Amino acid sequence: MSQANRRQLQVAAIQQTCSNDKQTSLATSEALVREAAAGGAELVILQELHATLYFCQTEDTGVFELAEPIPGPTSERLSALAAELGIVLVGSIFERRMNGVYHNTAVVFETDGSIAGLYRKMHIPDDPGFYEKFYFTPGDATFNGGQSGFTPIHTSVGKLGVLVCWDQWYPESARLMALAGAELLIYPTAIGWDTTDDPDEQARQLDAWVTVQRGHAIANNLPVIAPNRVGTEPDPSDQTNGIRFWGNSFICGPQGEFLARADEHSQTVLTATLDCRRTESIRRIWPYFRDRRIDAYGDILKRVRD
């Protein structure tokens, strides 16, 4: 169903702390999803890798034991929750696709609990404290009727442009989702500070994270929902002081305006009401898509422009 058929959509972003026990983390996720649904949310978004601690601070082959197939125990639990509450739910799973192939996967569940689609994270970072290339194979397709690449997932609340964390720094991802008809951009996230960074650097990093995503909203005239985790998680190797996840989950409208924003330390259910007609209205007076010079963009496919 397109958002063109509805006037408003109640959405919620879940900002939570996580545990080294998967069942404890999932119980927290479930309680917060129930709170969101009780408040009227029709679409609920969980953060990246919400079932576990952020294990990518180190490289450890034992961590692969946390991965699950889809369908599997976590997807089945989230499926039952979506069906019980009658909501569209976006969860996050460390997916075991086959021997040696694992993905960071966002799964979208319909109101009847069926899997509407899944998105396997395309851009995989490899930075100090974020060693994701060790664990995750880049996504090669959005499982949505066999379509590949950056393809919106069709649901009863609209066409969801689901991306994951590091994807949020790439304007190409957001634009391709928009060109394919996405009506929302969604970024489940796990990002935080090195605890040794000074306050000014921390402020710059946070501001950059918020600004780039608001830019995607503005450039594509689409609402953005960005749930991030919160809390300080230790470095299993004890080589650093760990990561302090900065929260600040937010929901913004298609001109980048804040509709709701969380703080940097609280576990919370962030809610907002989206006006489903605003994208069409704004695109009539800010016609970025009409004026794109597609004849002049060929070099965007090059790694470096010589």
CATH class of 13-301: alpha beta
Residue 4 pLDDT grade (very low, low, confident, very high; cuts 50, 70, 90): low
| pLDDT tens-digit series, residues 110-167 | 999 999 999 999 999 999 999 999 999 999 855 545 455 799 999 999 999 999 999 9
| pLDDT tens-digit series, residues 192-225 | 999 899 999 999 999 999 999 999 999 999 999 9
Tell me the angle at which helices 22-38 and 73-85 cross, rounded to the nearest 10 degrees: 20
Residue with tokens 């060693």: 131
* Mean confidence (pLDDT) of the chain: 94
Tell me the angle at which helices 171-179 and 199-220 cross, rounded to the nearest 10 degrees: 20
Ramachandran angles phi, psi of 125, nearest 5°: -80, 165
With the CA atoms of 78, 65, 186 and 233 taken in that order, what torsion angle do they form, in degrees rounded to the nearest 10?
A: 110
Q: Which residues contact 162 (CB under 8 A, 6 or more apart)?
A: 90, 106, 108, 117, 119, 142, 152, 153, 186, 188
Residue 290: what pLDDT?
95
Q: Which residues contact 189 (CB under 8 A, 6 or more apart)?
A: 47, 48, 164, 165, 168, 226, 227, 228, 229, 249
Residue 140: what pLDDT?
82
Cα–Cα distance for residue pair 164/148, rounded to 1 Å: 16
Q: For residue 275, how many other CB atoms are within 10 A of its CB?
A: 15
CA-wise closest residue to 253 among 219, 283, 221 = 221
Say if residue 129 is exposed, middle or buried (CB neighbours under 10 Å; 0-12, 13-18, 19+): middle
Residue 306: what pLDDT?
82
| pLDDT tens-digit series, residues 241-276 | 999 999 999 999 999 999 999 999 999 999 999 999
Domain ranges of the chain: 13-301
- pTM equals 0.95
Residues annotated as catalytic (active site), given as ranges:
48, 121, 165
Given a cut of 90, whether residue 30 has pLDDT beyond it is yes
Sign for the pseudo-dihedral over CA of 96, 224, 180, 110 = positive
Residue 101: what pLDDT?
97
DSSP 197: S
Cβ contact 291:41 at 8 Å: no
CB crowding 66-81: b at 16 or more within 10 Å, else e: bbbebeeebbebbbeb
Token pair listed for 82: 């979506």
Residue 2: what pLDDT?
59
Residue 189: what pLDDT?
98
